Chains A and B, each alone.
Chain A
Amino acid sequence: MNAITDKLKEVLFSVLPIVIIVLILNFTITPLETPTLIRFLIGALLIIMGLSIFLLGVDIGITPVGNLMGSSLAKSNKMWIVLTSGAILGFFISIAEPDLHILAGQVNSVTSGMISKFSIVIIVSIGIAIMLSLGLFRILFNVPLYKVLTGLYALIFVLALFTTPEFLAISFDASGATTGALTVPFILALAMGVSVLKKDSKASEKDSFGLVAIASAGAIIAVMVMSIVSKADRITSSLEINVSSSNSIIAPFIKALPTILYEVFLALLPLIVIFLVFQKISFKLDKKGFSKIIKGFIYAFLGLVYFLVGVNAGFMEVGTTIGYILASQDNKSYLIFVGFVIGLVTILAEPAVHVLTHQIEDVTSGSVKRKAVLAALSIGVGFSVALSMIRILIPGIQLWHYLLPGYVISVIMAYFVPKLFVGIAFDSGGVASGPMTATFILALAQGAAEKIEGANVLIDGFGVIAMVALTPLITLQILGLIYKIKSRKGGLDKDAKQS
């Protein structure tokens, strides 16, 4: 066993479930056209390869840089350095995030240009920048996470009162859009780099998580504020969703490649620049360490390109088609059930999920098992997709009918659950809404919405990511409660991760 076979095995087991489910669907309820199916299989192969390479790259490139950066920021022992660096980091990572540009483009067109694409990107990036500084500040000054989250979500709730349902969906989606495949591992590592210095090992453990959660709240607040200030409270135009069906097998892959190459490069660029600057002024790694990190960046780049090409060219169309066919069935419960199962397996192939679960194992020395966290995440996302499908089927249900109770429950739970799991849970919200869910599950929902009368492809499409980011908060906190109870039963295990 070496690093490569290890990763391949891990990735294989996380991508196979979704392949099997789609194959079963193909032979039962939703037969797919042969070229589509072949493209799906090629896509799956690319995803397996890409994800393995990407995760290796994260291990030796992105995570070490994040850790180093966190430690050296904290070691500067100067408030202004931490706050400004945090803000600069947050701003540039977010401004280069391809998902944010896509979201901004969509908002621009649905508001008939009232909100320019440029202003959204800038304002969301500022939101993330402020929140990243705040999150680092929290770790350094030992402010409990649940208090910060209560404050942030209270603010979001107040803002939500002045926001229309359409923009509510968009703003919650923005939180998912800004936490992409490269951003999440980096922010996770950054938090770990700062908190690992702490003398109190329990505090160090729990403060390794929560930074992603705080950063993504920044995006929600930024979009809400913008929609209120600019008074663009209504969606005035609709969005064309073109499901391109092609009979060629290879062409879609080649077509997707240039855009993805450009986007991944753009997203990686700030990390590289930041690394080079810090290497000069602070890290001063030796030649071996330096070349290792550069290699890590190269792997991450190549891996992510493979992965995204696979998802975009192979999976998206399958998602839309399955959603459409299921919605045409007389028995609508199929749609809900299949949605649940697809949610269950899709999340396993999400890149950031692997990074998060490994970090959890590293931070807790393996006592919180990867599989337990994966199971909780899976169930959470399964429910979120099923709930989204119900929302598409029944026009009376609005997004906030889910979001309001969901977030109220999550924040209340944060007061009872072991603090380590609060951080993990709220981070996993941003982690779950990565490129895999954003394409495949979104495509499924849009496919279904296209068929169902009274469902708007756009409005119902927005908000799916928000759901995916919400439900893991609850399921992972439930897992935390289970851990708390289980470790109490051990009797002797008195410091059961509770503090």
Chain B
Amino acid sequence: MRNNPDGTEIELLCVIVNFGLGSKIMKFSKQSGMRGGTIFLGRGTVNNRILEFFDLSDIRKEIVLMLGEKTIVDNTLEELNKKFHFDKPNHGIAFSTSVLSVLGTKSIESNGINEEKRGAEKTMYNAIYVVVDKGKAESVIDAAKKAGARGGTIINARGSGIHETGKLFSMDIEPEKEIVLILADDQITSPITSSVREKLEIDKPGNGIIFVQSVNQTYGLR
């Protein structure tokens, strides 16, 4: 396992907030020492019976990804939480995951090995990623909710696996995909993955992929 030499550990900070807040999060994080980040759009779900009846439970979200040293990430997370109150309902969520190596950024010096520090703090949450064909994200969330998940964020994406690629007329195409990001407690992670796996028949070729990342710190999950 490769990591850094000088003991600096790199983490990925991920913040999911309502549309329009992304730039503010980024600006604020830079004040806390982060060097930059990437923002993209997603859709989140709201748990509300009435809204679900009217099919209005979708809400636009922004997802901010930022890389930084562990100490800075921890500090930023704390500051962000103070400022944006992730602990209150519907104020967004933030979490950090470990990153093995980073290339291409001058501000984070890292090109070597670091000891595996996993286990130093106990991971309680996991980030589950499900990549499926466009239109199937809703059923992924349904399946996950049945297994105990609180909700999820849907990100529009595109890409092609080995089972699909092609050219329509004179344009090269990549099929549309949806990525579903679900944060879940350690205990319910495997029920969720197996529920999704069963419902969407992930094991059949070309039906999508699931992977799970462990999360170091989370704010905003209840």
What residues of chain A have their CB less than 8 Å away from a CB belonging to chain B? Answer: 1-4, 6, 56, 59-60, 71, 74-75, 77, 79, 82, 139-142, 196-200, 203, 285-286, 288-289, 291-292, 295-296, 361-362, 365-366
Contact = CB atoms under 8 A, between A and B. Distances in A.
Interface string B166-195: 001111111110000000000000000000
A79 B57 CA distance: 38
A288 B172 contact: no
B184 to A, nearest CB: 22
A200 B171 CA distance: 9
A338 B17 CA distance: 40
A231 to B, nearest CB: 41
B56 A3 contact: yes
B172 A200 contact: yes
B168 A197 contact: yes
Contact of A1 (B39, B57, B90): B90
B198 interface: no
Interface stretch (B46-54, B68-76, B122-130, B212-220): B46-54
Given A77-B168, A198-B173, 13 more contacts: A2-B51, A2-B59, A2-B90, A77-B169, A139-B171, A140-B169, A197-B168, A197-B176, A285-B135, A286-B139, A296-B55, A365-B41, A366-B22
B163 to A, nearest CB: 15
A372 to B, nearest CB: 13
A366 B62 contact: yes
A445 B59 CA distance: 40
Given A288-B138, A366-B41, A6 B59 contact: yes
B176 A196 contact: yes
A306 to B, nearest CB: 16
A60 B62 CA distance: 19
A74 B172 CA distance: 11
B58 A60 contact: yes
Nearest to A358: B60
Contacts of A199: 171-174
Contact of B55 (A6, A60, A75, A141): A60
B170 A292 contact: no
B18 interface: yes
B81 to A, nearest CB: 18
Main secondary structure of the interface of B (DSSP, over half): mixed
Contacts, number: 87
Contacts of A56: 56
B173 A197 contact: yes
A295 B90 CA distance: 25
Contacts of A203: 171
A295 B55 contact: yes
Interface string B153-175: 00000100000000011111111
Contacts of B171: 74, 139-142, 197-199, 203
B159 to A, nearest CB: 10
A118 B194 CA distance: 61
Nearest to A59: B58
A140 B55 contact: no
The 5 nearest A-B residue pairs measured at CB:
A199-B172, A140-B169, A197-B173, A292-B55, A3-B56
Contacts of A295: 54-55
Query: Could you say which of A4, A79, A197 has the most chain B C-beta atoms within 10 Å of its C-beta?
Result: A197
Contact of A365 (B39, B55, B56, B90): B39
Contacts of B174: 197-199
A108 B176 CA distance: 47
A60 B59 CA distance: 11
A45 B216 CA distance: 49
Given A79-B169, A197-B168, A362-B41, A2 B175 contact: no
Interface in B13-69: 18-19, 22, 39-41, 46, 48, 51, 54-60, 62
9 contacts: A2-B57, A71-B176, A139-B171, A140-B168, A140-B169, A198-B171, A203-B171, A291-B55, A366-B19
A140 B62 CA distance: 30
A66 to B, nearest CB: 14
B62 A3 contact: no
Contacts of B60: 6
Contacts of A200: 172
A85 B173 CA distance: 21
Nearest to A79: B169
Nearest to A292: B55
A421 to B, nearest CB: 20
Contacts of B48: 2
Contacts of A366: 19, 22, 39-41, 62
A308 B173 CA distance: 40
Nearest to B171: A198
A82 to B, nearest CB: 8
